[in-house]
Structure formats: C-alpha cells, structure tokens
C-alpha cells in the first residue's frame, strides 16, 4: 500500500462512518414502509434536466429494491403548454385547470401518455428498474367523467357553470389492474388521461388523478413533487406539518392560493379516503424522495388527518 493511499484512507474514515450512520438511520424507515404502496406524483414543474431525471429514477428504483411498492403518476403541464404553442393552439386555464377542446385533448394525450410517460419509463429502466407505462384507459384502470365547475357571477350573484371542455375527474379506479402490475414486481408509471363510459377521452389534472389512485390503493404515503419546498407561510417559511383543519384555515386566510389549492384539495381527498399521510415536497431537490422516506428529518410539508 502506498503512502498516498493510506493518507486517503485515513481522510475518508469519518466519511465512511457518516455513510454507515445514514444507512443505519434508513433501517427503521425501510421496515415501516416494507410492502407498502407509496404513490409519487411527479409534476411537470418538478421535472428538470437529465441529472434530475436520473436522481428521480434512482430514488424510485431504490424504493422498489427496499421493499416498497412505488406507483408513479406524472404530470406535464408545462410540456403540454410548449407543444400547444409550437402547434399554434391557444390554451387557457380556469381555476388551475386547462380548458381542453377537441384539438387540445389530442395533444394532451400525445404529450402525456406518449412522450413523457415513455421518457419516465426509460429513465427507470436505465437505472435497472422494471417500469410499465400506462394511462387511465389501459385495462379500464380509471374511468373518468366530465368535470363540472361552477362559479358565482360577481355582478348578478347567480351561480353559473364553467365549461372546461374535455376536462375529467376520476369516477372509478379499478385497483385490480394495479394489484396485478405490482404483483408482477413492475413499477407502474401512469399518465393522467382516462376514458369515460361512452368512450370520450378526458384530460385529468395530475394531482387529482394521483389522489384517486392513492385513495383506491390505500397508500401509506402520497408524495406530491412540485417546484416549491412545501406549503409556505405568509413569510415564505416552510410549514413542516399540517392537519386538514390547518389546510382549510390557510386557504380561507389566503396563505394558500393558485395551483396549491387543487393540490391541497387532493391531499384532503386522499386523507379522507384512508391514505395515512400526504407530503408536498420540492422535486427539484436531488433525491428528495429518498430524503423524505428514509431519513429522520424528512422533507417538505407532511399533512395528516
Ligand atoms: N402557501 C403556498 N405555499 C407554497 N406554494 C404556494 C402557496 N400558495 C400558492 N403556491 C403556488 O403553488 C405552486 C405549486 O402549484 P402548481 O404550480 O400547480 O404545481 P405543479 O405544476 O407542480 O402541480 C407554487 O409554485 C406556488 O407558486
Ligand atoms: C385538466 C388539466 O389541467 N390537466 C393538466 C394535466 C397535466 C398536469 O396536471 O400536469 P402538472 O402536474 O405538471 O401540472 C394539463 O392539461 O396541464
């Protein structure tokens, strides 16, 4: 052994102990989540560059290797927006949802169930995982119905219906499909597109879709990966834990606004369906999923009943 090597070994000793400590710290968490379903919603804003994709895929493969049953539901709002722009199709949002006409729903399906879905499957495969790409239509896994939204007209004070076109909400989830996919030790990667009983294709908000999947699977955790550290207070500080009542209060006092409102509504729905806890966290932080699941301090905002 050369002198140089022995000096390097000595220098790396504390580091090795720290690494061992981190692995040991993960043990009770791995035991707690063993064989449990964890739904990870990977939002379009959380998807970054190639390095970020690799980090995300490594986390998912490690989860599966550690005995968890990950289910990925992905979004792709910004990517749909770019494609629509390229094709010269105008797009607008109402209450955080994309108004979806016939041309738009075709692009939504192409980008979500085609391009992004297969990209994520590819990332997971590259890290040695076995993923299978699906959308709600596959095996009739999720049936959707047209979403009806209403608003109060400020002038007349009369309730009116907002027509969002082909925007749907999950009506029924057939968990048998997911049970067999998980039973075959495959990682389902699901695009939030679903068909209705009369064969119409619907564009479903990815948070809503993930909440329905987590609820029907009785998931131990629903992780919502976004582009902020979690729910922030009025001074922009991270709120580490919230209850459903806290969430309702923060919406009422205007602390929670915009895209965070449907996210929180999804959290409340999933918790009421029996999901043990939901976590909103920053998908841009490298290995945020592992930090949340396998370290004592976790990451993001944890929401419980
Ligand atoms: N109290 C809050 N804490 C954190 N983010 C908030 C809050 N209120 C509103 N937001 C907004 O919600 C956004 C996340 O929702 P959204 O853009 O729909 O995410 P995604 O595309 O990942 O689904 C944040 O980027 C932020 O602008
Ligand atoms: C109805 C509706 O708004 N659907 C979304 C579906 C994708 C999505 O939700 O993606 P993110 O999670 O990246 O926002 C859309 O068309 O953008």
3-state secondary structure the chain: CCHHHHHHHHHHHHHHHHHHHHHHHHHHHHHHHCCCEEEEEECCCCCCCHHHHHHHHHHHHHHHHCCCEEEEEECCHHHHHHHHHHCCCCCCEECCEECECHHHHHHHHHHHHHHHHHHHHHHHHHCCCCEEEEECCHHHCEEEEECCEEEECCCCCCEEEECCECEEEEEEECHHHHHHHHHCCCEEEEECEEECCCCCEEECCHHHHHHHHHHHHCCCEEEEEECCCCCECCCCCECCEEEHHHHHHHHHCCCCCCCHHHHHHHHHHHHHCCCCEEEEEECCCCCHHHHHHHCCCCCCEEEEC
Q: What is the pLDDT of residue 14?
A: 66
Instruction: Tell me the average pLDDT across 242-258.
Output: 95
Rounded to the nearest whole angstrom, what is the distance from the C-alpha of residue 98 to the centroid of ligand 2? Answer: 7
pLDDT on residue 182: 97
Please report which confidence band the pLDDT of residue 198 belongs to, taking 50, 70 and 90 as the band edges.
very high
Whether the predicted pLDDT of 223 surpasses 90: yes
Q: Which atom of ligand 1 is nearest to the CA of 46?
A: 22
Share of the chain above pLDDT 70, in %: 95
ipTM: 0.96
What pLDDT does residue 5 have?
46
Across residues 87-104, what is the average pLDDT? 94
pLDDT tens per residue across span 130-157: 999 999 999 999 999 999 988 888 888 8
Tell me, what's the pLDDT at 13? 61
Q: What is the pLDDT of residue 129?
A: 98
Q: Residue 153 has what pLDDT?
A: 83
Q: What is the mean pLDDT of residues 233-248?
A: 97
Answer whether 80 contacts ligand 2 (Cβ < 6 A). yes
pLDDT at 297: 78
Judged against a pLDDT cut of 60, whether residue 7 lies above it is answered with no
pLDDT at 156: 86
CA of residue 81 to ligand 2 center, whole Å? 10
pLDDT of residue 1: 44
pLDDT, mean of residues 85-106: 95
Q: Is 211 in the pocket of ligand 2 (CB under 6 A)?
A: no
Q: Is 76 close to ligand 2, i.e. is its CB under 6 Å away? A: yes
**The pLDDT value given to residue 151:** 83
Q: Is 136 in the pocket of ligand 2 (CB under 6 A)?
A: no
Q: What is the spatial distance between Cα 95 and Cα 101, in angstroms, rounded to a whole number?
A: 16
As a whole-number percent, the residues of the chain with pLDDT over 90 amount to 82
Query: Distance between CA 89 and CA 205 in Å, rounded?
Result: 19
pLDDT classification of 95: cutoffs 50, 70, 90: confident
Predicted local distance difference test score (pLDDT) of residue 197 = 97
- What is the per-residue pLDDT for 3? 47
């Amino acid at each position: 052994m050369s002198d140089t090597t022995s000096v390097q070994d000595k220098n790396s000793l504390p580091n090795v102990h720290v690494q061992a400590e981190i692995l040991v710290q993960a043990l009770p968490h791995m035991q707690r989540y063993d064989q449990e379903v964890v739904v990870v919603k990977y939002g379009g804003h959380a998807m970054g560059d190639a390095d970020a994709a690799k980090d995300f895929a490594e986390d998912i493969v490690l989860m599966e290797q550690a005995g968890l049953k990950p289910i990925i539901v992905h979004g792709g709002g910004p990517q749909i927006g770019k494609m629509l722009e390229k094709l010269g199709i105008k797009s607008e949002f109402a209450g955080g949802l994309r108004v979806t006409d016939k041309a738009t729903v075709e692009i939504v399906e192409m980008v979500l169930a085609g391009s992004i879905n297969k990209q994520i499957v590819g990332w997971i495969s590259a890290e040695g995982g076995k993923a299978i790409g699906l959308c709600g239509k596959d095996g009739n896994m999720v049936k959707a119905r047209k979403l009806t939204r209403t608003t109060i007209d400020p002038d007349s004070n009369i309730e009116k219906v907002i027509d969002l076109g082909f925007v749907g909400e999950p009506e029924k989830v057939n968990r048998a499909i997911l049970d067999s996919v998980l039973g075959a030790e495959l990682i389902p990667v699901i695009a939030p597109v679903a068909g209705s009983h009369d064969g119409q294709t619907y564009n479903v908000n990815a948070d809503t879709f993930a909440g329905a999947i987590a609820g029907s699977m009785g998931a131990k955790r629903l992780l919502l990966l976004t582009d902020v550290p979690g729910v922030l207070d009025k001074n922009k500080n991270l709120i580490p834990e919230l209850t459903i009542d806290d969430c309702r209060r923060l919406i009422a006092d205007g602390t929670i606004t915009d895209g965070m409102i449907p996210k929180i509504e999804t959290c409340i729905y999933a918790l009421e369906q029996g999901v043990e806890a939901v976590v909103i966290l920053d998908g841009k932080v490298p290995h945020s999923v592992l930090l949340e699941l396998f370290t004592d301090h976790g990451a993001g905002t944890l929401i419980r009943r």
